Amino acid sequence: MKKMSTDVIVIAGGAAGLAAAIAAAEHGARVIIFEKANKTGGCANMAMGLLGIETKRQRERLIGLTTEEAFSKFMEYTHWRSDARLVRAYLTKSADTINWLEKMGVNFVEPSKYFPGSEATWHIIKPKTGNPGLCAAATMIEIMTERARQLGVEIYLQTPVQKIILEDGNVKGIIAVDKTGLHIEARGGAVIIATGGFGDNPEFIKEYTGFEWGKDLFSYRIPGLTGDGIKMAWDAGAGKDKMGMELVYFAPNTGGYAPIELAFRQPNLVVNLQGERFMNEEIMENPVFSINAIARQKKRVAYSIINEKIINDYDKNGLDVINVVTANIKMEQFHQELAKAVRTQNENLVVADSIEELARKADIDVAGLKQTVDEYNFASKTRDLLFDKNYRYLKPIDSPKFYALKFAPSAYGSLGGIKINYKTEVITQNHQVIPGLYAAGTDANSIYDNDYVFILPGNSLGFAVNSGRIAGENAARFVKN
């Protein structure tokens, strides 16, 4: 067994782990990162940007949201189920963290909303090449990795940690194994867990969230995110906190925000398998609201229905609602994927010349759908008596061809598992601090409880980086003292 010693050990080198390592090193600590994968970043490599409140960029653009206002919105959105001290610490630190990243060399584009009605808190990262979009944060990860190495942080890739060493209730280090099978005992005064959750562990998902991956959940699975850090924390005495998935809705097995979804994510007619409307489709722009409604339905699926006339309208006049994630997808790409889906008989897409045929192909109740479409078409000439939907979105489904796309629960990843306090110290179920043990990022992200706060976009990556910084700073102080 190879033996080594340091001040602070960071388990995993994703956004939270890198932030923790850099922060600890900047405070004078010797730091080692043990990363399971063959590169740093984890799921952060797929992200776009992170939350910031009262940043310089916001002030320059007259975005007046204050930390106090953001805190109030956050806590009201979660109905005060969240740890208010932890939320406050995170939001208060967020502006300084954006500045901290900019000093490293991370560039941001204009702070953005996610959808109309949300706040412009999303500081989207400008990648080295191409336009800002999905995976833009990979550039930030490269910069943070280089910064960590400049500060003397040792990074061991393909070296998963297997166990946390405890002596007399105190954390003393870890046991890891490298890609050759060599076991490593690393001793240190503090350990920070930042392993990115359990999004790649169907058993964990089923046991702790009530969803079954591949059946009623089609979430992203980043290889290696199997809950290792959470299990190690529990073995070390950590309390269990609220666990869930960061839910959104996609067409199953498309990878999310596929071009074929573009016209179907608009506020048009949406029905369940009974053929009935179950929400005001205006909430389609808010992934949390819409997936909450979809997840209540039979088999947790819904169909968005449009026709050729609506598609032609989007070609001519543009979409009804645009969000930042799909802003770079063009109707030309939609048409290409639509044609391919028709040609390959994609199981998520149904095309028909009549409503009855559409219902039969989609396994929707025929009588129910026919009645709903009749009522919806009548509402388009009068008003929506069922959900009071804005008249501008009441586009009739009154002529062929008809198209329906299936939507089901998906998720960017998991949420929560390790109980922490506002200092990111790991605590037991009885709220006793486990000396020297910290957790950051997804493993400890229970602040949404139950709903991701999409009105303040950039939260997941924002919490990862900010909680990582808090953990690194406090771990360095703990070791020093």
Residue with tokens 């979660």: 78
pLDDT reported for residue 472 = 98
pLDDT band per the 50, 70, 90 thresholds, residue 202: very high
Distance linking the first and last C-alpha atoms of the chain: 30
133: helix, strand or coil? coil
Interhelix angle 84-104/137-150, rounded to 10 degrees, is: 80
List pLDDT tens digits, range 235-271: 999 999 999 999 999 999 988 889 999 999 999 999 9
**What does the radius of gyration of the chain's CA atoms come to, in whole angstroms?**
24
Give 383's contacts (C-beta < 8 A, 6+ positions apart). 391, 394
Give 218-272 as a DSSP string.
-----TT-SSHHHHHHHHTTPPB---EEEEEEE-TTS-SS-GGGTGGGSSSEEE-
List pLDDT tens digits, range 97-138: 999 999 999 999 989 998 888 999 999 999 988 778 778 999
- All structural domains of the chain: 2-243+416-480 (3.50.50.60), 248-410 (3.90.700.10)
For range 325-329, the mean pLDDT: 84
Rounded to two decimals, the pTM is 0.95
List pLDDT tens digits, range 363-418: 999 999 999 999 999 999 999 999 999 999 999 999 999 999 999 999 999 999 99
pLDDT reported for residue 283 = 94
pLDDT reported for residue 322 = 85
